[in-house]
Amino acid sequence: MRQKSTPKPSRNGSEDSLEQHTEELRQGRSRAGAKRGRDTPAEDVLGIVGCKMRVWWCPTEEESKTDYSGAWWPVRVMAKGPGPRYMVKYDNGETGSVLAVHLSPYEVPMDFGKEALPLQVTEFCEVFNGSSTDPCAWAACVSKSLRNGEYTVRYPFHDTEPEKIPASRIRRLRVLEGDTWKLLRPNQHWRGGEVTSPMELETIDEEELGVYVDLSRVLQQQTHEAVGKAVKEGKDDKVDNKDKESKGDKADNKDNEKGKEDKADKDQESKGDKADNKDKESQGGEDKKGEGNKAEESKGDKDKEEDANAKAEAPNKKSKQ
C-alpha cells in the first residue's frame, strides 16, 4: 500500500512553486498597477482561504509526479492566486499553487469503513492510504468482493497493480455537485488520457445505486441478519424474563418462608405472653389468697386477744361485786 509518508520528490513538481507563483503575482500586480495606477489583490470568490480542503492530483506520465497522482491530498488554502489558482500548504509543510477546480471539501459525508451497504463490483471508491503523517485517499474501482470482508480494487487514475484492501479503509467515491454529494455511476470505462479526474465522470444520486448494481442479495442478507438478530434478542428476552420470574419466585418463596417464620415467632410470643399472663394471674391469685389468709389470721388473733381480755375482766367484775 502506497503511504507516501516521506516522499523524496517534491510535490511541487506537478504544480508551480511558491517562489514562482509569488514572482508571477508580483509582476502581474505591477503591470495591473501601472495600467490602473494601483494594486488590486486577487479576490477569493469561493471564500475558501483559510479553509482545510483536499486537492486532486491528476494522472500523469511525468516520473516526478506519478507517485502522487490519482489521489486526494489534504491542504490548507493560504491565499488566492492569479486567475483560477489558489496557494495551498500540504500536511507535510510543502506549499504550491493549484487549480480551484481540483479543490474539494475535506469533510466527506461518510467515514472509511462505515458504509451501510457493502460495495459491489464496478463501484468507484476511495482507499485510505493509512498514513498519519501524510494521509491521502486514492481513487479506485472495486473489481472483486471477497468473503473475508476485503475487496480487490484497481486504480484507474494511478499506474499500479490491483490490491486487496480491507473494508475498514474503503468508502464509496462521492463528489460534490452544487450543494449535493453524489456517487459516480458504476461500470464506467474510458481510454487512457480521456479522463483525468473523477469529477469528469457521470454521477448519480445514492438512491439510484440499485439501478446499476444488484443490491438484492445484500438487502436480503441484511434482512435475514436483522430477523436473526430480532429472534436472538427475543430468545434472550425470554431467558431474561424466565430468570427474572425464577428469581421472583425464589424471592416470593423466601418472603413466604420469612412470613411463616415471623408468624411462628409471633405465635410463640403470643403463647409466651399468654403463659406469662397466666403465671401472673396465678401468682396474683396466690398473692390475694395469701393476703386473705393473713387477714383471717390477723382477725383470729384479734378475736383471741379480745376473748382473753374478756376473761381477764370477768374476775375483776365479780370481785367488785
Is 131 in contact with 5 (CB distance < 8 Å)?
yes
Q: Which amino acid is at 175?
A: V
Cβ neighbours around 85 below 10 Å, total:
21
The cell for 115 is 458504509
Is 143 in contact with 186 (CB distance < 8 Å)?
no
Residue 171: what pLDDT? 98
Nearest to 4 by CA among 95, 65, 52: 65
In angstroms, how far is the first alpha carbon of the chain from the final one? Answer: 160
Residue in this structure with the C-alpha cell 498514513, named with its chain if needed: 131
Cβ neighbours around 141 below 10 Å, total:
23
Domain 1-107 architecture = Roll (2.30)
Residue 12: what pLDDT? 46
For each of the chain's 321 residues, which pLDDT tens digit applies? Answer: 444 433 333 444 444 444 554 454 445 444 444 444 444 457 888 899 999 999 999 998 888 778 899 999 999 999 999 999 999 999 889 999 999 999 999 999 999 999 999 999 999 999 999 998 889 999 999 999 998 889 999 999 998 999 999 999 999 999 999 999 999 999 999 998 899 999 999 999 999 999 999 998 877 766 766 676 777 777 777 767 676 776 766 666 666 677 667 766 766 766 666 656 665 565 655 555 555 555 565 666 666 666 666 666 554 444 443
Nearest to 6 by CA among 95, 134, 123: 134
Tell me, letter by letter, the H, E, C secondary structure of the chain. Answer: CCCCCCCCCCHHHHCECHHHHHHHHHHHHHHHHHHHCCCCCCCCCCCCCCCEEEEEECCCCCHHHHCCCCEEEEEEEEEECCCCEEEEEECCCCEEEEEHHHEEECCCCCCCCCCCCCCCCCCEEEEECCCCCCCCEEEEEEEEECCCCEEEEECCCCCCCCEEEEHHHEEECEEEECCEEEEECCCCCCCCCCCCCHHHCCEECHHHHHHHCCCHHHHHHHHHHHHHHHHHHHHHHHHHHHHHHHHHHHHHHHHHHHHHHHHHHHHHHHHHHHHHHHHHHHHHHHHHHHHHHHHHHHHHHHHHHHHHHHHHHHHHHHHHC
Q: How far apart are CA 36 and CA 26, in angstroms?
A: 15
Is 171 in contact with 115 (CB distance < 8 Å)?
yes
Domains in the chain: boundaries = 1-107, 108-214
CATH of domain 108-214: 2.30.30.140
The cell for 56 is 486532486
Q: Is 98 exposed, middle or buried (0-12, 13-18, 19+ CB in 10 A)?
A: buried
The cell for 225 is 441478519
Contacts of 207 (CB under 8 A, 6+ apart): none
Residue 150 vs residues 115, 159, 168, 243, 298: alpha-carbon distances, Å: 14, 21, 9, 41, 118
Is 101 in contact with 20 (CB distance < 8 Å)?
no
Q: How far apart are CA 321 and CA 317, in angstroms?
A: 6
The dihedrals phi and psi of 308, each to the nearest 5 degrees, come to -65, -40
